[in-house]
Amino acid sequence: MRKIARYIIGALALFAMGCASGSKVSATPAEIEALDNLVANQSFEINARWALPMPSQALNSISNANLLPIGSNASRIDLTGNASYLRMVGDRVEADLPYFGERQMSGGYDPQRTGIQFEGMAENLKIEPNTKTKGYTMRFDINNGLESYQVIAQLMPSRSSSFSIVSSHRTQIRYQGILSEYSEEED
């Protein structure tokens, strides 16, 4: 019995060391400098490639009915072909993102505005260096008049990014995408 316990403890120790070694982020000095400049200029955009909604019975039903894009499932939805973005220009932020999830509170219904959409001044804006990822963590609150949102974004030197949105009316959703410089001439 002691021999089995030793094997289990040894296996758990190896597993823990393997997990710890995988958390190191390698970024070149050029990537870190480019990210520092993007953040300092506060003119960037995250183009969302994937939506990661909270799993629910309703989303599983939609997935089982093959109503999601090809290559998607109830917890990871491909956004290719959609103009899905979170943008920051100075202290102003704007977003136009599809939403997959459940409403927790009723609100006005507008069939043209079913996603997460907001534009305005970011409240409680904080952009702080993240020593673990060698990137930045951005946090802010915003209200679009109907809903209020809390946004937390991870900006990585590799230009990959993920962000979560907590809404006053809907279940939380996360997105993954690509970080790029934004210039207003692109619109």
Residue 144: its pLDDT value, please? 87
Residue 149: its pLDDT value, please? 96
How far are the Cα atoms of 25, 35, 182 from residue 185, in angstroms, in the given order?
Answer: 34, 21, 9
Q: What percent of the chain has pLDDT over 90?
A: 57
Q: Which amino acid is at 158?
A: S
pLDDT at position 163 over 70 = yes
pLDDT (tens digit per residue) in 17-29: 555 544 455 889 9
Strand stretches in the chain, DSSP E: 43-53, 77-78, 85-89, 92-97, 116-121, 123-130, 135-143, 148-155, 160-167, 173-181
Structural contact between residues 93 and 140, judged by C-beta atoms closer than 8 angstroms:
yes
Structural contact between residues 91 and 102, judged by C-beta atoms closer than 8 angstroms:
no
Residue 12: its pLDDT value, please? 58
pLDDT at position 168 over 60 = yes
pLDDT at position 104 over 90 = no
pLDDT (tens digit per residue) in 135-153: 999 999 999 888 899 999 9
Residue 67: its pLDDT value, please? 87
Rounded to 10 degrees, the C-alpha dihedral 24/129/46/48 comes to: 40
Residue 113 confidence class, pLDDT cut points 50, 70, 90: low
Residue 76: its pLDDT value, please? 94
d(CA 55, CA 180): 29
Q: What percent of the chain has pLDDT over 70?
A: 80
Specify the CATH architecture of the domain 26-186: Beta Barrel (2.40)
pLDDT (tens digit per residue) in 41-71: 999 999 999 999 998 888 888 888 888 888 8
User: Average pLDDT for residues 162-178, to the nearest whole number?
Assistant: 95
pLDDT (tens digit per residue) in 72-99: 998 999 999 888 999 999 889 999 999 9
User: Average pLDDT for residues 142-168, to the nearest whole number?
Assistant: 95
Structure tokens at 42: 């506060």
